[in-house]
Chain A
């Protein structure tokens, strides 16, 4: 329907007028800038122990709520200041990158695999299997995620695994829905009928013929989920049902500074800016990728 149009526009646009050239540059910027930020995040997460100037969980009661370097009373020892327990905000933010990134990637790996398998099965097999799986999907999508996370953190105790589980248990449903739709569309195409006529088993058709054709939308949705999952982890940690203290999560750092907002704004402000920047990069990159790979999915 709209699948070819944007590509044609892309190719012809820079040659027509100056304004379009600017639009073209803007569009590639929405790819380059986010990619740079995301790469920096990955590098920060990997090399955190070498980058962080201090121990992120070391408490120093004599150096509580020190302002950042550019304010009066700040020192170069603590560039972004210290929190209510005298811990270095910069070091905590650097280590926080590890948690944000690893939680979101792990959750995406789990949810995308489960969702894809169930989605292809539902879309290709159809009938009762499909009805059952889709009702199951509906239930998962209407279960409030926050309630589940709260219950899990009470049952299992707050922790890394709990967060990953809480985000994964319901997170597969949107993938299943999307992939089922794609599988339904592909099921009726000629090459699948051809394979069926040649005697390919349903398993073989699903793996060799349907799966390769759902990879594009899958990658797009996975990319768009990076930001969302980072935001979700931060939200859970903010509410105190995510990563337990003293481990630094950006969300719990925001929560730590909540009570001190009138005297130590930097504790809350910096991690929030970081979350916003990273999530925005993920969203912009996801949008760019979608426009490039599959504009049909624009509504996602």
Chain B
């Protein structure tokens, strides 16, 4: 088990280094930020000064060394555009993103568990077909379109909610709803199919024969095992969640990580793009690592064979 964790940890670190190099190279391929920062009248000396200030006069290898050593020390560099430490910008934006993501995640998780279990235990009934249909509907309708339609209905026609921006509690309704809409269908399907597999198993039959109340069988014995299998896809769910967050923030003009990232890409603000992308990669890889270890702990078959 220790061996497995060490190998997995090493692999994650290697993957992270790979991603860091990849991002560094790709961001630099995307063009010279000086083109966007200088004015039309800038003299060559001014441009040179600018380059020196921003550390862009050094060779790519040196720039990478500064970037990498900074990372290890928790320093993400300074934004080229805003001249602020990237760490501070992320400190401002991340809580805003979490304010949307966390409630949306909790809401969709609760709904997914409740509806997924109900659908699985009442297989092929009206409720089950309804859940299946809603799940496919949710995975088919573009979230960005849904958000605009919600704006049209609630903000333009009914005038119940504000269109966009950050503010009081009423500003949260539509963005959180949109994000939950992004997440719910996938989770619901996973819970349902996991439950269906578990309900077929021998130990559930045994629990029934033992005469346990159906409520305990389903919500305690079955559900616990049913959510283990979907856990393996947690990394992919994370990636989807991030995509949903970016689109939601852009539509509702929310000052979070997604908007920070999109704006930084267009402005070729290298340090910001690098930091945001790495942060996302760390979250996704960390999630995968955690899931793999939990999974190996629960199910010994997964552990690496001694080779």
Binding site for B on A (CB under 8 A): 2, 23, 26, 135, 138-139, 141-148, 150-151, 154-155, 227, 231, 234-235, 238-239, 251, 254, 257-258, 261-262, 265, 268-269, 271-272, 275-276, 279-280, 282-284, 287, 298-299
Q: Which residues of B contact A275 (CB under 8 A)?
A: 141-142, 145
Contact pick for A147, options B29, B156, B280, CB 8 Å: B280
Whether B149 pairs with A269 at a CB distance below 8 angstroms is yes
Chain B 1-27 interface 0/1 with A at a Cβ cutoff of 8 Å (1 = within): 000000000010011001100100011
Contact pick for A272, options B27, B145, B242, B266, CB 8 Å: B145
Tell me, rounded to whole Å, the shortest Cβ–Cβ distance linking B21 to chain A. 11
Whether A280 pairs with B235 at a CB distance below 8 angstroms is no
Q: Which residues of A contact B197 (CB under 8 A)?
A: 2
Whether B140 pairs with A280 at a CB distance below 8 angstroms is yes
Whether A141 pairs with B18 at a CB distance below 8 angstroms is no
Whether B144 pairs with A235 at a CB distance below 8 angstroms is yes
**Given A141-B235, A142-B235, A268–B262 Cβ distance below 8 Å?**
no
Bound together, the chains give a CA A144 to CA B22 distance in angstroms of: 13
Residues of B193-247 contacting chain A, CB below 8 A: 193-194, 196-197, 200, 229-230, 235-236, 239, 242-243, 246-247
State whether the Cβ of B187 lies closer than 8 Å to any Cβ in chain A: no
**Cross-chain pair count, CB within 8 angstroms:** 139
Whether B140 pairs with A135 at a CB distance below 8 angstroms is no
State whether the Cβ of B152 lies closer than 8 Å to any Cβ in chain A: yes
Whether A268 pairs with B145 at a CB distance below 8 angstroms is yes
Closest to B230 in A: A299
Whether A138 pairs with B288 at a CB distance below 8 angstroms is yes
Contact pick for B30, options A135, A151, A268, CB 8 Å: A151
Q: Which residues of A contact B140 (CB under 8 A)?
A: 227, 231, 276, 279-280, 282-283
Q: Which residues of B contact A283 (CB under 8 A)?
A: 136, 139-140
Whether B277 pairs with A144 at a CB distance below 8 angstroms is yes
Whether A144 pairs with B239 at a CB distance below 8 angstroms is yes
Tell me, rounded to whole Å, the shortest Cβ–Cβ distance linking A120 to chain B. 21
State whether the Cβ of B261 lies closer than 8 Å to any Cβ in chain A: yes
Whether B148 pairs with A258 at a CB distance below 8 angstroms is yes
Whether A147 pairs with B277 at a CB distance below 8 angstroms is yes
Beyond contacts A139-B18, A141-B284, A142-B281: 17 other A-B pairs, Cβ-Cβ < 8 A, are A23-B124, A142-B235, A144-B243, A144-B280, A144-B284, A147-B276, A151-B27, A151-B30, A151-B265, A231-B140, A239-B262, A257-B148, A258-B148, A268-B145, A268-B152, A272-B142, A272-B145
Bound together, the chains give a CA A130 to CA B73 distance in angstroms of: 34
Bound together, the chains give a CA A278 to CA B149 distance in angstroms of: 18
Q: Which residues of B contact A299 (CB under 8 A)?
A: 190, 193-194, 229-230
Q: Which residues of B contact A135 (CB under 8 A)?
A: 11, 14-15
Q: Which residues of B contact A265 (CB under 8 A)?
A: 152
Q: Which residues of B contact A231 (CB under 8 A)?
A: 140, 142
7 contacts between A and B (CB under 8 A): A138-B11, A141-B236, A148-B26, A151-B27, A154-B30, A261-B151, A299-B190
Whether A261 pairs with B152 at a CB distance below 8 angstroms is yes
Bound together, the chains give a CA A198 to CA B280 distance in angstroms of: 49
Bound together, the chains give a CA A148 to CA B19 distance in angstroms of: 12
Bound together, the chains give a CA A271 to CA B273 distance in angstroms of: 32
10 nearest CB pairs, A to B: A272-B145, A280-B140, A142-B284, A279-B140, A150-B265, A154-B30, A276-B141, A155-B30, A262-B156, A139-B15
State whether the Cβ of B137 lies closer than 8 Å to any Cβ in chain A: yes
Q: Which residues of B contact A145 (CB under 8 A)?
A: 239, 243
Whether A142 pairs with B288 at a CB distance below 8 angstroms is yes
Residues of B269-306 contacting chain A, CB below 8 A: 273, 276-277, 280-281, 284-285, 288
Chain B 26-60 interface 0/1 with A at a Cβ cutoff of 8 Å (1 = within): 11011100000000000000000000000000000
Bound together, the chains give a CA A299 to CA B31 distance in angstroms of: 42
State whether the Cβ of B68 lies closer than 8 Å to any Cβ in chain A: no
Tell me, rounded to whole Å, the shortest Cβ–Cβ distance linking A118 to chain B. 16
**Given A139-B18, A142-B19, A299-B193, A154–B268 Cβ distance below 8 Å?**
yes
Q: Which residues of B contact A154 (CB under 8 A)?
A: 30-31, 265-266, 268
Q: Which residues of B contact A144 (CB under 8 A)?
A: 239, 242-243, 277, 280-281, 284
**Given A144-B239, A144-B280, A283-B139, A238–B15 Cβ distance below 8 Å?**
no
State whether the Cβ of B250 lies closer than 8 Å to any Cβ in chain A: yes
Q: Which residues of A contact B230 (CB under 8 A)?
A: 299
**Given A151-B26, A269-B149, A280–B19 Cβ distance below 8 Å?**
no
